Amino acid sequence: MDPITLYPIGAYQPMPFPAPVWLMETLLVVGFFIHAIPMNVALMGGITSAILLFQGKNKPESYQQRAGKQIAASLPLFTTAAITNGIVPLLFLQILYGPLTYTSSILMAVPWLSVLFLLVIGYYGLYIFNYGQNKLGEKSPWFLLGSSVLFMVIAFFFSNNMTLMLTPEKFLPMYQASPSGMHLNLSEPTLIPRFVHFVLAAVAVTGLAIGSFGLYFKKKDDGYATWLIKTGAGLFLGITLLQTIVGPWFLFTLPGPVQQQFFDVNGAGFMGLNKMASHLFRTSLGLDVIALIAMAIAYVKGSSKAFITGLVSALLLIGAMSEMRHLVRVFSISNILDPNTHAVQPQTEILIIFLVLFVALILYLGWLAKIVHKAYQNK
């Protein structure tokens, strides 16, 4: 049978890619990493800060109140960074996997478009808390909670789209059932474990952010800083222990051939079929263990050094997981769409300009952070 009638997926435009595929894949993964960190805090920071504020409700001087307000004040910044940095992975996702991702987006056009509205409402919810907490009083944390819930809906829609794009066999029946873009990918076995795994990770990353606040306050207020480090480390620790159940749940719902690339029960030492994926998987487990031990020490002792060790391991772990997430996609669709088969003609001049601008941006942001820090120190 004509394969197109089974998998009607789009085609790349008949013009070469502007940069090598490996470079764009790297930018996709790096872009996802720099998006995921602030996005995770923006996603679950609202709930976390609301819980802290509810805990310290009748104790205005409590650490909970102080931390809740400080996290909430930072959330618009994390949200801005999440949106801005989200452009990079989406851009390279569309270049490399456009034929799949445009189609899956169209099938769920209405929920996909609603992401924008949910984002705006949630974003304003954060500002309403920050500018209106004195007027709103005890009710104000509900805005933080509401924003987090809206952001979770967005995350759910993203999980739907990112899984739907990997299953083009669903495209035609879905579209024929309705062309008005009202679908979700609810029948997908990996959907719920993937969503739960990622949302829990967001709580753990929020823990990292709270502990990092502690590092910032270390010289100013040791007692408060230690409390922040212990709270952040504890949050990371608890959630990451929970992930030891959710992680394998997600792993074992992945299609067998995809799983086998990372981990094979029949392989020597459980080595998967793909060397890089297997090493990455093992490295992640190692980093996970280091992060857990370091965070356990930080949780018990409030030690900055232990927290920094845990933080660095956790960031490396997120980096490794970002790459694994990408590999899951590559393995899932390699027999359907392979960007490596498309022609490449590097646009050298603009490629150099882009890379120079990218480095300049990092340096500039560093300088900006320095002058802002200095301004706050002076006051």
Partner 1 sequence: MSYPVWEVPNIGNGWIIGLIAIFHVFISHFAIGGGAFLALTETLAYKKNDDRIYDYIKKHSKFFLLLTTVLGAVSGVGIWWAIGLANPSGASVLIQNFGLFWGAEWTFFAAELATFLAYYYTMGKMDKKNHCVLAWIYFGISFGTLFVINGILTGMLTNGGWLNAQGNIVGTVYDSFFNPAFWPALAIRLFIMFALAGIYALLTASTIKGQDDLKQYLLRYSAKWMLPGLIAGPLFVVWYMFTLPPATQQVIVSGLSSLGEGNFSMMAKVIFLCIVFATGLIGMVIVGPFLNPKGFNTTFALMLLASGFGFMFTEEWSREMMRKPYVIYNYMYSNGLRKNQIAQVNADGFFKSNAWARAEGATLAKEDTVGHGKLMFRYQCMSCHTATGNGYRSMARLLGERDENAIANLITLMKDNHVILSEESKDEKGNTVITTKAKTPYNGYMPPVVGHQDELDALSKYLVTLSKKGMEAGAEKAEAQMATESAPQSTTTKS
Choice from 21, 83, 196, 336 touching partner 1 (CB under 8 A): 83
Which among 42-50, 59-67, 78-86, 268-276 is the span making contact with partner 1, rule CB under 8 A? 78-86
Among positions 344-363, residues that touch partner 1 (CB under 8 A) are 347, 349-351, 353-354, 357-358, 360-361
Choice from 17, 63, 195, 331 touching partner 1 (CB under 8 A): 17
Choice from 59, 80, 132, 222 touching partner 1 (CB under 8 A): 80
Q: What is d(CA 257, CA 263) in angstroms, rounded to the nearest whole number? A: 10
Among positions 27-56, residues that touch partner 1 (CB under 8 A) are 27
Cβ neighbours of residue 43 closer than 8 Å, sequence gap 6 or more: 82, 148, 151, 152, 155, 199, 202
| Distance linking the first and last C-alpha atoms of the chain | 73
**Eight-class DSSP state of 168:** G
**Identity of the residue, 8 or 223, whose beta carbon is nearer to partner 1 in the bound complex:** 8
Lookup: tokens for 132: 């209106």
Lookup: tokens for 43: 């996603």
Q: Does 22 bind partner 1 (CB under 8 A)?
A: no
In the bound complex, what is the minimum distance in angstroms from residue 103's beta carbon to partner 1?
A: 6
Choice from 78, 112, 198, 299 touching partner 1 (CB under 8 A): 112
Which among 74-82, 219-227, 288-296, 303-311 is the span making contact with partner 1, rule CB under 8 A? 74-82
Q: What is d(CA 324, CA 274) in angstroms, rounded to the nearest whole number? A: 12
List the beta bridge partners of residue 271: 263
Q: What string marks each residue from 153 to 192 as x (binds partner 1 by CB under 8 A) or -? A: ------------------xx--xx--xxx-----------
**Identity of the residue, 11 or 289, whose beta carbon is nearer to partner 1 in the bound complex:** 11
Q: Does 291 bind partner 1 (CB under 8 A)?
A: no
**Identity of the residue, 47 or 81, whose beta carbon is nearer to partner 1 in the bound complex:** 81
Q: What string marks each residue from 118 to 137 as x (binds partner 1 by CB under 8 A) or -? A: -xx--xx--x----------
In the bound complex, what is the minimum distance in angstroms from residue 348's beta carbon to partner 1?
A: 10
Q: What is d(CA 330, CA 333) in angstroms, rounded to the nearest whole number? A: 6
Q: Where are the alpha helices (DSSP H) in the chain?
A: 3-6, 21-55, 63-107, 109-136, 141-164, 171-177, 191-217, 222-253, 256-262, 275-301, 304-333, 348-378
Among positions 243-262, residues that touch partner 1 (CB under 8 A) are none
**Identity of the residue, 301 or 342, whose beta carbon is nearer to partner 1 in the bound complex:** 342
Q: Does 105 bind partner 1 (CB under 8 A)?
A: yes
Q: What is d(CA 328, CA 265) in angstroms, rounded to the nearest whole number? A: 18
**Identity of the residue, 241 or 361, whose beta carbon is nearer to partner 1 in the bound complex:** 361
**Identity of the residue, 80 or 340, whose beta carbon is nearer to partner 1 in the bound complex:** 80
Q: Within 13 A of 262's CA, how many CA atoms are on the CB side? A: 26
**Identity of the residue, 8 or 189, whose beta carbon is nearer to partner 1 in the bound complex:** 8
Choice from 38, 45, 68, 99 touching partner 1 (CB under 8 A): 99
Cβ neighbours of residue 272 closer than 8 Å, sequence gap 6 or more: 260, 261, 262, 263, 264, 278, 281
Is residue 327 a contact partner of residue 257, using CB atoms and an 8 Å limit?
no
The dihedrals phi and psi of 336, each to the nearest 5 degrees, come to -110, -45
Tally Cβ neighbours within 10 Å of residue 178: 10
In the bound complex, what is the minimum distance in angstroms from residue 13's beta carbon to partner 1?
A: 5
Which among 106-114, 208-216, 312-320, 330-338 is the span making contact with partner 1, rule CB under 8 A? 106-114
